[in-house]
Amino acid sequence: MKFLIALAATASVLLPSVQAAKEVFAHVIVGNVRELNAADWEDNVKLAQEAKIDGFVLNIAAQDESNTASLDLIFAAAEKANFKAFFSFDYAAQGAWPKDKVVETIAKYGVSPAYFKHDGDKLFVSTFEGPANAADWTDIKTTTNSFFVPDWSSVGAVEAAGLANSVADGLFSFDAWPTGNVNMTTEPDLAFQAALGDRAYMMPVSPWFYTNLPGFNKNWLWRGDELWDTRWAQVMEVNPDFVEILTWNDYGESHYIGPVREKELGLFTSANAPINYVKEISHDGWRKFLGFYIEQYKTGVVPTEFEEKAAAYYRTAPALACGNGGTSGNNADFGETEVPPEQLMEDAIFFAALLKSDEGVTVSVKVGEEEKPASFNVFPAAGKGTPGVYRGSVPMGSATGEVVVTVTRGGQAVASAEGGKPISATCENNVQNWNAVAV
């Protein structure tokens, strides 16, 4: 890219300044993947590439003995497919990373052709937290020739940017979920961008948040519902330098967009969860429009060539069908007011369709035998009749059974969303599963 800038400068003074290539990554919790083999990683890479994701952000905890074996498999699969990966050093999960261990890890995997380099030059490195270790990075950066974009969200945008001043090339924010019964806004993103000035901003996009892991002392949710498509619309407004999807495989917090592999779900037993809230709960629907969104983000133009698709997002029981599992809405540890979870999550089936136009289009939602009147009420930014994602919802009511969303145009089937776990009037162990199916 440096080369391109030089070229542009000599070619014409009228050319706009060349922006760094925009890239989209998905966060992988490496601590969850010790059971995965080479074939699983080839499949993960293939699924991510089908969704036009550029690479994985590899979250690694300092003391995790399984890191090496997993990283070897991940980099091997990425190299084979020309996929990318870079590290997010996790300073919270198992304590701070010693400086020399960071240097050693970057040096070892940085030689892989799959390791993502900013502008094809510096090794891209991020963190989960670790503002107290900011000073370590002056040496780490010099030794490893890296481009440093940490997440120090816990101290807020302004303080994080102040810390970044001396050592970071940009910042990632972990502020991806709304507090309260409201939609997520771009306010935190704009605060980061403003505090960063010219330095890079990596924006978080996540579909959901629910965790109930007594062994880790975690039991809360934030509002999900239509968060995924709302956030992608916000990506187009914010136009960040990079996007990081939270996450590919964080099953414990229910924001995975990768496949559910049963052998990765050991944490529900080890952390004493009252129910396994991920088993059979597919999130594949959250990858359906990604290719479209990512192309729009990168080109700045709404794509017109794509396959029309439909998706549905819903929980598998009405909120009050069973006990709430002690789960709170919001989290007082973050200074938030806790409310009963049913005040945040709506008992609704959310549906969305990627269409070239909604002209002559009808959408229908069936739950079991019950047909629910449905129509779109959220449209692409350019309005009805234009290509993009059309959205709506219907109340869950008391209907039970399979959810089938069908989109037709002039009586012809266009796309459908189905095959997810059915809605039921009861819950396993009488504990509400606040995770959502996305098909």
Ligand X SMILES: *[C@@H]1O[C@H](CO)[C@@H](O)[C@H](O)[C@H]1NC(C)=O
**Residues in the site for ligand X, rule: CB under 6 A?**
181-183, 226, 230, 378
As given in the structure block, the two tokens for residue 267 are 């944490």
Dump the DSSP string for 250-271. Answer: -TTTT---S---GGG-THHHHT
Nearer to ligand X, 18 or 378 (CB): 378
Residue whose CB is less far from ligand X, 5 or 302: 302
Single-letter residue type at 383: G
Element (H or E) spanning 231, and its range? helix 227-238
Tokens 């350019």, residue located: 382
Residue 28 or 345 with smaller CB distance to ligand X? 345
Are residues 380 and 386 in contact, defined by beta-carbon separation less than 8 angstroms? yes
Least distance (Å) from ligand X to the CB of residue 320? 19
To ligand X, the closest distance from the beta carbon of 169 in angstroms equals 33
Residue 394: strand pairing partners: 349
Question: Smaller CB distance to ligand X: residue 136 or 189?
Answer: 189
CB of 127 to ligand X, least distance (A): 32
| Shortest separation between residue 183's beta carbon and ligand X, angstroms | 4
DSSP E strands, 6-128: 23-29, 55-61, 84-90, 117-118, 122-128
Q: Are the beta carbons of 401 and 422 closer than 8 angstroms?
A: yes
The least CB distance from residue 343 to ligand X, in Å, is 11
- Measured from the CB atom, the residue of 8 and 378 that comes closer to ligand X is 378
Q: Is residue 137 within 8 Å of 99, Cβ to Cβ?
A: no
- Spatial separation of the C-alpha atoms in residues 232 and 289, rounded to whole Å: 10
Compare residues 115 and 350 and give the one whose CB is closer to ligand X.
350
SS3 state at 150:
coil
The length of the chain is 439
| Helix (H/G/I), strand (E/B), else coil: 106 | helix
Which residue of the chain is nearest ligand X when measured via CB? 183
Buried b / exposed e along 63-84 (16+ C-beta atoms within 10 A): ebeebeebbebbbebbbeeebb
Residue 334 Cβ vs ligand X, minimum distance, rounded to whole Å: 20
Query: How far apart (Å, rounded) are the C-alpha atoms in residues 68 and 235?
Result: 34
Pairing of strands 309-314, 55-61: unpaired
In the complex, minimum distance from the CB of residue 74 to ligand X, in angstroms, rounded to a whole number: 35
Query: Least Å distance between CB 177 and ligand X?
Result: 13
Which residue lies nearer to ligand X by CB, 191 or 378?
378
Tell the residue number behind the tokens 């059915």, with chain if given: 422
User: Least distance (Å) from ligand X to the CB of residue 233?
Assistant: 7
**Omega within 30 of 0 (cis) for the link into 247:** yes
Return the number of the residue (183 or 269) whose C-beta is nearest ligand X.
Answer: 183
Smaller CB distance to ligand X: residue 182 or 413? Answer: 182
